[in-house]
Structure 1
């Protein structure tokens, strides 16, 4: 164990962990929204994120610019990527709900069937982006699909620069953009769920769908809304992933989706603020663990911590369901 490395660079590792965990938290919101309303683990949500990364790559490779963009160009490219990614991810999430889950709900299928369907949809999307689209569009869009099933690098939109130093901790612009953007997106979602009429409908259906229906809440619209909202958060995470990690491939969502689901469970799945806490906590645990042991143990450490937390607190760190959330 390398305690000296952890202690000497503790502040720097904390900043790195928070920027990593912020992306987990955004993706975790999709899991927690769907579970909070439908009690469904939507494992296809990881591929919703993956679709968003390809939308980001499409914008950044098709919009012409030379070298590293100027600050004004970078803002435009980020906004275009955000619009494209949220539309792509939100649309994918809605399509999954309408095509795969809605027929099962009408037939009152048991939870196991929903779980198997989610895994099946996830594999289908991985294969579509891994083989089908490269076969169909590989020549027309070589920047996106010219290397099927292989890692594809994204253009550098923002050059990493150190912003300020506090003691031995240096914070760069990428870390600030990722953490601040994620916190703003999560704050907006929390406000929407807790303060708006549509958000009250979501909480009503999550708490008691039968009573909500008697009060005039359209359950189908609420379900569509939560899938779209989860997709929008995944699309925003895809943009931040493009800035921070700078690559994508058809299976990019697999491990990250598992980490995001772990974050949702750690914070208390079904709880929006729990997803935030769980994501940030998981990011810190991974970075600290990788420093103590090695990066090869990073994934193992994350899931061991999940097991330990659930042994002592099965409902997660916050444990409050979406239907009982308070503003």
Structure 2
């Protein structure tokens, strides 16, 4: 029972990272129909922001804030320089653009900083544990869960209770109608990218705190899993992205913990097989968006 509880905490922690990244992908896709495969580089840029800030002597908390800001800046820079001019282009052109941005940033990270992982020295107390009864919990996974649910709650408030949030929801339904109402679509899209960058930055903070390092490919695999989660939940569905993230993270952790050693190398294949099975039952995703068929 104790082992199961610990693994549930780990599953929520990892699933929360995937959920935030998937939500960032879904926010952008719901408005501009762009699957941003450069989203992983936004996360990586946040990690390098933390590394550089600590290299210049900033305290850890300040460095984390710098990492968040770096991710938001990168997301907004991508929107302004690469994706704004492509708005309204077909899906293939948008995909090629996002892949190109991703590869360019990887090369810049590899040649401008380091192709190898660079260590980030967080306080030793951050990697400690605490006990509740006979059960041991890690500080970072617990903080990760709290931060994840706080971020998701904050984003829900922004989308449902603020003017810009309601404008983003309207843009997800029909961005052309939004323009006819006199609302600046560029501003709405820029805010959507900024929010996706903020979520990627939070994921970068948690990921680097757990790994203790950052490298040019740090964001690639988490965002790949987040994309799978987005498809599982339903492309363009914000609630589906969150649900898919937690399902993928939960499957990954629980299979890692309870599979016999002989089957452990097939964990990722089993996760993908489970996702395929769910999609066979629900081809549009678990919580498909109302505008899923919008052209």
TM-score normalised by structure 2 residue count? 0.91
1:252 to 211, 218, 236: 218
- Kindly tell me: are residues 297 and 154 of structure 1, through their superposed partners in 2, closer, same or farther at Cα, counting changes over 3 Å? farther
Equivalence for 2:192: 226
Of 298-307 and 236-245, deviating more is 298-307
* Alignment deviations for residues 124-146 of structure 1 (CA, whole Å, 9 cap, x no partner): 10000001x1xxxxxxxxxxx3x
Q: Distance in 2 between matches of 1:312 and 1:36?
A: 23
* Alignment deviations for residues 104-135 of structure 1 (CA, whole Å, 9 cap, x no partner): 22xx422101101111110110000001x1xx
Q: Please state how far the C-alpha of 1:268 moved relative to its aligned partner.
A: 2.4
Is the Cα–Cα contact under 8 Å of residues 68 and 205 in structure 2 kept in the other structure?
Answer: no
Q: Which consecutive residues of structure 1, in runs of 5 or more, have no partner in the other structure?
A: 1-6, 65-75, 134-144
Query: 3-state SS of the aligned residue for 1:163?
Result: strand
Equivalence for 1:97: 79
Q: Please state how far the C-alpha of 1:322 moved relative to its aligned partner.
A: 7.8
Q: Which consecutive residues of structure 2, in runs of 5 or more, have no partner in the other structure?
A: none
Does 2:126 align with 1:151?
Answer: no
Is the Cα–Cα contact under 8 Å of residues 68 and 198 in structure 2 kept in the other structure?
Answer: yes
Does 2:92 align with 1:82?
Answer: no
Query: 3-state SS of the aligned residue for 1:9?
Result: helix
Q: Please state how far the C-alpha of 1:165 moved relative to its aligned partner.
A: 2.9
Equivalence for 2:56: 62
Q: Distance in 2 between matches of 1:61 and 1:321?
A: 47
Q: Distance in 2 between matches of 1:158 and 1:187?
A: 29
Does 2:139 align with 1:173?
Answer: yes
Equivalence for 1:189: 155
Q: Distance in 2 between matches of 1:194 and 1:308?
A: 33
Equivalence for 1:161: 128
Q: Distance in 2 between matches of 1:262 and 1:163?
A: 33
Equivalence for 1:30: 24
2:96 to 116, 138, 144: 116
* Alignment deviations for residues 35-92 of structure 1 (CA, whole Å, 9 cap, x no partner): 111111111111111101111112233226xxxxxxxxxxx622x2332122211111
Equivalence for 1:271: 237
Is the Cα–Cα contact under 8 Å of residues 290 and 297 in structure 1 kept in the other structure?
Answer: no
Q: Distance in 2 between matches of 1:272 and 1:23?
A: 15
Give the length in aligned residue pairs.
Answer: 288
Is the Cα–Cα contact under 8 Å of residues 240 and 286 in structure 2 kept in the other structure?
Answer: yes
Is the Cα–Cα contact under 8 Å of residues 50 and 251 in structure 1 kept in the other structure?
Answer: yes
Equivalence for 1:127: 107
Does 2:244 align with 1:261?
Answer: no
TM-score normalised by structure 1 residue count? 0.82
Q: Please state how far the C-alpha of 1:158 moved relative to its aligned partner.
A: 4.8
2:181 to 215, 222, 246: 215
